[in-house]
Amino acid sequence: MKSAAFWGVLAAILAGGLALTAVLENEYYYNALYLILQATLMAVAWNILGGFTGYVNFGSAAFFAMGAYTTVALNKALGLPLPLLILAGGAVGGLVGFGLGYLTLRLKGVYFAIATLAMAIVIETFISNWTYVGGARGAYMLTPDQHLWFNSYIQMLFMVMLLLTLAAVAISRMLSSSRLGRGLAAIRDDEVAAESAGVPTLRLKLVSTTVMGAMMGVAGAPFPYFVTFVDPVSAFNLFIAVNAIAMPMIGGTGHWIGPVIGALLVGSMQEIVKVTVSSELNVLIVGVMLVVFITLAPQGIVGLVRKHWQRRKS
């Protein structure tokens, strides 16, 4: 996609979101859209490490929860406004990502994946026992009265999440076609060969885990305002981590658009099924789709489209 067209599409989506808040009142739609966007942001973040760099992270929920709990803690301690809380959530998520990267740099493949899972459990245990943020009982968040010019607070949260997601997509796209992105791809393809091509693999992996962690922290920061009650069970929900893996896999991990396609597709199906059939069935959807795609189209939707194009060309 040409750069001008890309930025044009982003601007159009943002304008579309604003227009929507002017005409559509029903709060349910903003709830659903917020959840889809949150999943998209998480999928884009996961893909930075999982897709671009080739390191599978099973602990996404921990980064998300760190963002959410940063909001809970800082809101209680200082009463900061939302934009600052999002920045703080990103900083804490990035720091956790850096720490994870630093501790697990030498682990490869499945061992790295296991370490991320273990890290998520350690952090969850820590949060569950930290009474200042509610511990295992959870914490209530009051919805602030002001919501700028929007009709309701959820409308504003929806716009905030839209903005954050678009920013993450733009960062992911810039990264994938940059020198840094090629270095990450070299690590994914062959770490030893990357080193001898001059790629500082340790440093680049740290950059990758940090950017991923920061994006996930940002995704989690507005969450307490969205649900108004956070406890470890909801913030560290396995479903968040599963979605973050499944959506890029279904969309295609090799390309920046892959996780976006996967998240929009699976996310909207989940929301539709939630209201039309059952609120439990949406977990089944992602499971079935993941199995189908991994066996039939391991390169995801992007891979299918690419194969189709190549066949038409030749």
Partner 1 sequence: MSAPLPLLQVSGLTKRFGGFVALDNVDLHVGAGERLGLIGPNGSGKTTMINCISGALFNDMGGIRFDGQDITRMLPHRRARLGVARSFQIPKPFRSMTVLENLRVPLEYAARARAGQRHIIDEAMELLESIGLKHCAQHNSAGLTQVDMRKLELARALAVKPRLLVSDEAMAGLSSAEVDEILEILLALNKRGVAVIMIEHIMRAVMRFSQRIVVLDAGHKIAEGTPDEIVSNPDVERAYLGE
Among positions 185, 238, 273, 285, the unique one binding partner 1 when judged by CB under 8 A: 185
The answer to whether residues 119 and 100 touch, using CB atoms and an 8 Å cutoff, is: yes
- The answer to whether 32 contacts partner 1 (rule: CB under 8 A) is no
- How big, in percent rounded to 5, are the helix, strand and coil portions of the chain? 80, 0, 20
Provide the minimum distance between the beta carbon of 202 and partner 1 in the complex, in angstroms, as a whole number.
Answer: 8
Amino acid at site 249? M
Amino acid at site 292? V
Provide the minimum distance between the beta carbon of 189 and partner 1 in the complex, in angstroms, as a whole number.
Answer: 4
Pick 185 or 265: Cβ nearer partner 1: 185
**Distance from C-alpha of 133 to C-alpha of 304, rounded to nearest angstrom:** 46
Other Cβ atoms less than 10 A from the Cβ of 14: the count is 14
Among positions 186, 245, 266, 302, the unique one binding partner 1 when judged by CB under 8 A: 186
Pick 67 or 303: Cβ nearer partner 1: 303
- The answer to whether 192 contacts partner 1 (rule: CB under 8 A) is yes
The answer to whether residues 259 and 47 touch, using CB atoms and an 8 Å cutoff, is: yes
**Distance from C-alpha of 223 to C-alpha of 236, rounded to nearest angstrom:** 12
List the structure tokens of 131. 């009474």
- The answer to whether 188 contacts partner 1 (rule: CB under 8 A) is yes
Q: Which stretch binds partner 1 (CB under 8 A): 57-65, 133-141, 179-187, 210-218?
A: 179-187
- The two most distant CA atoms of the chain are separated, in Å, by 63
**Distance from C-alpha of 173 to C-alpha of 68, rounded to nearest angstrom:** 26
Closest CA to 254 of 113, 110, 54, 112: 54
Among positions 129, 143, 190, 229, the unique one binding partner 1 when judged by CB under 8 A: 190
**Distance from C-alpha of 144 to C-alpha of 85, rounded to nearest angstrom:** 14
Among positions 93, 213, 248, 254, the unique one binding partner 1 when judged by CB under 8 A: 254
- The answer to whether 194 contacts partner 1 (rule: CB under 8 A) is yes
Provide the minimum distance between the beta carbon of 185 and partner 1 in the complex, in angstroms, as a whole number.
Answer: 6
- The answer to whether 200 contacts partner 1 (rule: CB under 8 A) is yes
Q: Which stretch binds partner 1 (CB under 8 A): 17-25, 34-42, 190-198, 278-286?
A: 190-198
**Distance from C-alpha of 170 to C-alpha of 310, rounded to nearest angstrom:** 27
Q: Which stretch binds partner 1 (CB under 8 A): 20-28, 137-145, 178-186, 220-228?
A: 178-186
Q: Which stretch binds partner 1 (CB under 8 A): 42-50, 132-140, 176-184, 221-229?
A: 176-184
Residues that bind partner 1 (CB under 8 A): 179, 182-183, 185-186, 188-190, 192-202, 254
